[in-house]
Amino acid sequence: MHKLYVAMVGLPGRGKSTMARRIRDGLAAEGINARIFNNGDMRRKLLGAESTSPDFYNPDNSFGREARELICRRNLEAMQDYLNGDGEVAILDATNVSRQRRMMIENTLKNHPVLFVECMNEDPLLLNAFIRRKADLPEYAEYTKDEAVESFMKRIEYYETIYNHIGKEKYWMCVDAAANRVLAEQPCESSPFYPAIREIVVSMWIESLYLARHGQTEFNVQGRIGGDPPLTARGRAQADALARHLAGKRLDWVFTSTRMRSHETAAPVLENHRDAHVMALREFDEIWAGDCENMLYSEIREKMPEVTAQRNANKYSYVYPNGESYAILQERVRRGLRRALFLAGNAPFLILGHQAINRVLLSLFLRQRTEDVPYIHIPQNQYYHIQLTPTRKLFERIPYDGKAAKQDTSLKDPQIYS
For residue 249, give the nearest of 412, 354, 387 by alpha carbon. Answer: 387
Q: Residue 407's pLDDT is what?
A: 41
User: What's the pLDDT at 368?
Assistant: 81
The reported pLDDT for the residue numbered 401 is 62
Q: Which helix (H) or strand (E) holds 359?
A: helix 355-365
For residue 323, pLDDT over 60 is answered with yes
Q: What is the pLDDT of residue 406?
A: 42
**Short-list 283, 254, 18, CA closest to 125:** 283
Of 29-38, 80-89, 128-137, 335-344, which gets the smallest average pLDDT? 128-137
Per-residue pLDDT at 409 exceeds 50 = no
SS3 250: coil
pLDDT tens-digit series, residues 42-92: 998 888 877 888 999 999 999 999 999 999 999 999 999 999 999 999 999
pLDDT of 375 over the 60 cut: yes
Least confident of 76-80, 170-174, 204-208, 232-236: 204-208
Sorted by sequence, the CB contacts under 8 Å of residue 87 that are 6+ apart come out as 3, 33, 34, 35
Sign of CA dihedral 16, 17, 18, 23: positive
Q: With 70 as the cut, is the pLDDT of residue 177 above it?
A: yes
What letter does residue 288 receive in the DSSP assignment? P
Mean pLDDT of 347-371: 94
Residues forming a β-bridge with 280: 256
The predicted structure's pLDDT at residue 404: 38
State which H helix or E strand residue 392 sits in.
strand 392-399
First vs last C-alpha separation in the chain: 35
Task: Give strand pairing partners of 254.
Answer: 278, 350
SS3 of 35, please?
A: strand
CA distances (Å), 217 to each of 47, 205, 225, in order? 54, 33, 11
CA angle 33, 38, 44 (to 5 degrees): 145
- Return the pLDDT at 135: 81
pLDDT on residue 413: 41
- What SS3 state is found at 382? strand
pLDDT at 416 over 60: no
Mean pLDDT, the chain, integer: 92
CA distance 313 to 61: 68
